[in-house]
Amino acid sequence: MSHPAVRPTSVSKPSADAAIGLPTVEVKGFHRRFGDVVVLQDLDLRIEQGEFVALLGRSGSGKTTLLRTLAGLDSAEGQSVRTPSARAVVFQEPRLLPWKSVWRNVTLGLAGGDPRARAEAALGEVGLDHRANVWPRTLSGGEAQRVALARALVREPRLLLLDEPFASLDALTRIRMHDLVLSLWRRHAPAVLIVTHDVDEAITLADRVLVLDGGRIAAEERIDLPRPREVGAGFQAIRRRLLGALGVEHAAPGEPRAAAPPPLVPFPVREVQA
């Protein structure tokens, strides 16, 4: 029952679903509300095996809500949501347990096998095998996020869910992370759903870019550009269309990205007592 260690040679593993060509994720007519606020409504989503999908949407459009549902963090009882059980999440923050060494964080919750060896193999893939024994607090932001990637990958997920994983990284580190994620994706061939605010990031990475608006997938772009993708005419045309779908009509390339999202819970406004 022990998994093979994460190694460069292992390509997409054959599975029952693969044999009959079922999609990895299938969501039909999904709806989600918080109190009176309807966030997602009549949403359909299909992600094929090994497909790399990016999800765009303005702040508060429900991207995280959708990702949490796919991750099984929020229940979708009674609704038509099909996901593989082998799935793993990389959050916006690394969320490493500071009191566990890096390699123990990677193998968190894993049972059996040789956890140390599996952790080292996964850390090797993100270029951090030499940091296996250190405390997470000594890592830089980019390193910590790579550990979070290793922690997700060591589980050999069929569905990898990424919620704005690079939002807090500097531009250079972010480019490196893009290359890393793409090479890991090629090697392990999971289906990927990445939530991002960055249109260029979405176009650089994904096979397909979705725009979430009004509670459902409002626009979709298939990206057939060869990888690695350079900003050329085709790239810019896609970017223009996506920005249009996002309601940003006249943004020129290199325009600053949208500001930080507002906090989810509004600060309670109270009368100041004299």
User: Which residues of this protein are in contact with ligand ATP, per CB under 6 A?
Assistant: 34, 39, 57, 59-65, 261, 264
61 binds Mg ion (CB under 5 A): no
Residue 13 C-beta: closest distance to ligand ATP, Å: 31
How far from 168 is each of 93, 105, 135, 137, 159, CA to CA, in Å?
8, 21, 20, 16, 23
Reading the block at residue 267, the tokens are: 């600060």
135 binds another protein (CB under 8 A): yes
If the CB atoms of residues 31 and 104 are measured against ligand ATP, the closer one turns out to be 31
Q: What is the CA radius of gyration of the chain?
A: 19
88 binds another protein (CB under 8 A): yes
The number of residues that bind another protein (CB under 8 A) is 21
Note whether 88 and 153 are within 8 A (CB): yes
If the CB atoms of residues 138 and 236 are measured against another protein, the closer one turns out to be 138
CA distance linking residue 245 with residue 253, whole number of Å: 16
109 binds, among another protein, Mg ion, ligand ATP, none (CB under 5 to 8 A by kind): another protein
CA distance linking residue 128 with residue 238, whole number of Å: 35
53-72 binders of another protein (CB under 8 A): 71-72
Residue 148 C-beta: closest distance to another protein, Å: 9
206-265 binders of Mg ion (CB under 5 A): none
DSSP line for 64-109: HHHHHHHHTSS--TTSEEE--SSEEEE-SS----TTS-HHHHHTTT
What are the beta bridge partners of residue 28? 80
If the CB atoms of residues 24 and 64 are measured against Mg ion, the closer one turns out to be 64
Spatial CA neighbour of 54 closest among 206, 170, 201, 162 = 206
84 binds another protein (CB under 8 A): no
| Binding residues vs another protein (CB under 8 A) | 71-73, 88-89, 91, 93, 95, 97-100, 108-110, 135-138, 151, 155
